[in-house]
């Protein structure tokens, strides 16, 4: 049974490009998504998208690598490649009105900042007298993607990511 | 008649979701008793209840990356009350660069704010891959690694736990139900102190379940095996030697104390892991040989940072 689940998950991921239809709308589900000139993490950075931004899936060129989608950002201006795990099929409403919040429970829409959020964290932190200093420090250890590229290639390693 | 059938289905769904967990103040008991007493005659009420049931089901199956991020932060902060961080900027930067490179080859390269790595200042042999990519590794465990490939093996195993969402799998079914109720409630209402209190209590339960599993009881053997297999796949695809994980486990085996509160308590016997890893590595295509100067470059940077850890 577990093997079947693995196969299913792997198939879903590996065929990501084929599963999403051209012109389909998706949303950025991470804080910042990098849009690259070519599929793979070594691609030139064209720009970034923010949490909740809607993107349009473009025609995927033949032989597109697994796990990457060619997209157009809001307004069609920014076009390039984004890793599929940075996207969701749900619409993410960043600033939701009460009505939209209600529809957010429908399953097709997710309201950003709802549920377990910074307010809950602040309350929990206070309740537990928890110190988040080092968690914040962890997030501050931001390594520039170029530095990762150099680190990997100088060690004779693959930098573009994805299954080889 | 259709109404009765729908009510019966709803009651079944609700009872199934309620599972073994304690329930918060949202009133799922009211939902059940209302349905059972026939007090759901109007279609609007029934639709509302059905929507709630669907929301519960949906939320219990899916925590958004944003919510997973807050869970991961709280889990990491809690673990850091047990183990202190090691304030060594150079070593932590090295770990973050290496870990970021490995995460690119994982099945989940993108988390809400990416992967983050920190060394814990303890001789215990321990590591934790908290949800959303907050990875904590002890100095004791890093001492079991003698090369960059072996440090990569340690990190790849934790990235495996993160990408396969093992932390979220540690949340009990009852806790899911309770959390799902609170999340469903919050999606349809404005933030107020009562809702925040309920959500925070629910959040605390979720964090408690995850920390208890990671620190005290350990993941199941199956989940550990899944993380091991994902680790050697990542190592292989990035170009590190997958056998590095076996070498770390062999060194660990000689250093673990049987009554220790670290990996000795929470992980399967290294010997068992080595056996299935060797079988799996044999099935991989061999990693292309690395040029001598590049091997030297890896070892030089490893030694400049990790010597004396």
Q: pLDDT-derived band of residue A77, with 50, 70 and 90 as boundaries?
A: confident
Assigned token pair, B241? 């030697």
How many domains is chain A partitioned into structurally?
2
What is residue B177's predicted lDDT score, i.e. its pLDDT?
Answer: 83
Domain that holds residue A77: 2-111
Is the domain of A73 the same as that of A129?
A: no
Q: Are residues A105 and A38 in the same domain?
A: yes
Same domain, A144 and A132: yes
> Mean per-residue pLDDT for A77-92?
95
Instruction: Say if residue A111's pLDDT is above 90.
Output: no
Mutate to test the interface with B, among A7, A33, A110, A120 (most CBs of B within 10 A): A120
pLDDT exceeds cutoff 70 at B171: yes
Of B63, B207, B294, the CB nearest to A156: B294
The nearest CA of chain B is from the CA of A36 a distance in Å of: 14
A20 in a structural domain: yes
Domain check: are A54 and A9 in the same one?
yes
The verdict on B228 and B148 lying in the same domain is: yes
Query: Domain check: are A14 and A34 in the same one?
Result: yes
Q: Are A60 and A69 contacting, i.e. CB atoms less than 8 angstroms apart? A: yes
User: Do B156 and B240 fall into the same domain?
Assistant: yes
pLDDT band per the 50, 70, 90 thresholds, residue B187 = low
Min distance A59 CA to chain B CA atoms (Å): 23
- Looking at the fold, whether A26 and A64 belong to one and the same domain comes out as yes
Residues in chain A within 8 Å Cβ distance of B204: 124, 127-128
B279 and B136 share one domain = yes
A155 and A123 in one domain? Answer: yes
Residues B233 and B284 reside in one and the same domain: yes
Q: How many structural domains comprise chain B?
A: 2
H helices of A1-117, where? Answer: 2-14, 16-19, 98-103
A154 to B71: CB separation less than 8 angstroms, yes or no:
no
ipTM of this predicted complex?
A: 0.84
Confidence check: pLDDT of B131 > 70: yes
**C-alpha span between A7 and A5 (Å, rounded):** 5
How far apart (Å, rounded) are the C-alpha atoms in residues A64 and B272? Answer: 39
Q: Are residues A82 and A132 in the same domain?
A: no
Instruction: Give me B111's structure tokens.
Output: 């988390």
HSE (side-chain half, CA atoms, 13 Å) at B267: 27
CATH number at residue A21: 2.30.30.40
A134 has a chain B CB within 8 A of its CB: yes
* Residue A99, pLDDT score: 42
Residue A42 has pLDDT above 90, yes or no: yes
The answer to whether residue A164 sits within a structural domain is no
Could you tell me if A82 and A107 lie in one domain?
yes
A5 vs B73, residue with greater confidence = B73
Q: Which residue has the tokens 């990569």?
A: B152
Pair (A151, A136) in one structural domain: yes
| Local confidence band at B30 (pLDDT 50, 70, 90 cut-offs) | very low
Residue B186 and residue B87 share a domain: no
The pLDDT, as a whole number, for residue B188 is 52
pTM for this structure?
Answer: 0.82
Q: Are residues A140 and A101 in the same domain?
A: no
Are A40 and A96 within one domain?
Answer: yes
Of A124, A152, A163, the CB nearest to B101: A152
Chain A: nearest CA to B85, how far in angstroms?
7
Partners of A115 on chain B (C-beta within 8 Å) are 59, 64, 67, 182-183, 186-187, 199
Do B116 and B161 share a domain, yes or no? yes
């Amino acid at each position: 049974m577990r093997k079947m689940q693995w196969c299913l998950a792997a198939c879903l991921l590996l065929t990501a490009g084929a599963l999403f239809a051209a012109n389909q709308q998706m949303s950025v589900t991470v804080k910042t998504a990098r849009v690259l000139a070519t599929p793979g993490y070594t691609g030139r950075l064209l720009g970034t998208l923010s949490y909740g931004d809607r993107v349009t899936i473009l025609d995927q060129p033949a032989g597109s690598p697994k796990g990457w989608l060619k997209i157009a950002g809001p307004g069609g201006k920014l076009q390039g490649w984004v890793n599929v795990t940075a996207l969701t099929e749900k619409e993410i409403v960043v600033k939701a009105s009460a009505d939209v919040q209600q529809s957010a429970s429908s399953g097709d829409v997710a309201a950003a900042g709802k549920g377990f959020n910074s307010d809950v964290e602040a309350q929990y932190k206070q309740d537990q007298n928890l110190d988040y200093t080092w968690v914040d420090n962890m997030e501050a250890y931001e390594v520039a993607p170029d530095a990762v590229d150099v680190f990997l290639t100088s060690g004779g390693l693959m930098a573009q990511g994805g299954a080889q | 008649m259709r109404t009765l059938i729908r009510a019966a289905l709803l009651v079944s769904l609700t009872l199934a979701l309620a599972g073994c967990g304690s329930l918060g103040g949202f009133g799922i008991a009211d939902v059940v008793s209302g349905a059972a007493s026939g007090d759901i005659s109007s279609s609007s009420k029934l639709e509302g209840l059905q929507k709630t049931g669907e929301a519960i089901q949906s939320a219990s199956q899916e925590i958004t990356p944003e919510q997973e991020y807050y869970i991961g932060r709280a889990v990491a902060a809690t673990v850091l009350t047990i183990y202190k961080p090691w304030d060594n900027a150079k070593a932590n930067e090295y770990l973050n660069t290496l870990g970021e490179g490995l995460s690119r080859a994982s099945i989940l390269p993108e988390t809400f704010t990416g992967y983050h790595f920190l060394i814990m200042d303890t001789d215990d042999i321990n590591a934790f891959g908290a949800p959303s990519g907050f990875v904590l590794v002890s100095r004791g465990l890093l001492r079991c690694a003698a090369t960059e490939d072996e440090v990569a093996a340690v990190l790849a195993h934790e990235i495996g736990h993160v990408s396969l969402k093992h932390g979220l799998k540690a949340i009990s079914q009852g806790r899911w139900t309770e959390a799902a109720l609170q999340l469903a409630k919050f999606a349809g209402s404005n933030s107020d102190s009562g809702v925040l209190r309920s959500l925070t209590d629910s959040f605390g339960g979720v964090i408690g379940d995850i920390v208890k599993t990671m620190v005290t009881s350990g993941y199941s053997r199956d989940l550990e095996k899944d993380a091991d297999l994902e680790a050697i796949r990542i190592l292989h695809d990035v170009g590190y030697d997958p056998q590095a994980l076996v070498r770390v486990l062999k060194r660990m085996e000689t250093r673990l104390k049987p009554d220790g509160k670290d990996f000795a308590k929470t992980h399967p016997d290294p010997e068992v892991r080595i056996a299935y890893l060797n079988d799996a590595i044999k099935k991989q295509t061999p990693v292309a040989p690395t040029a001598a100067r590049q091997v030297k470059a890896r070892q030089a940077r490893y030694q400049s940072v990790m010597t004396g850890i």
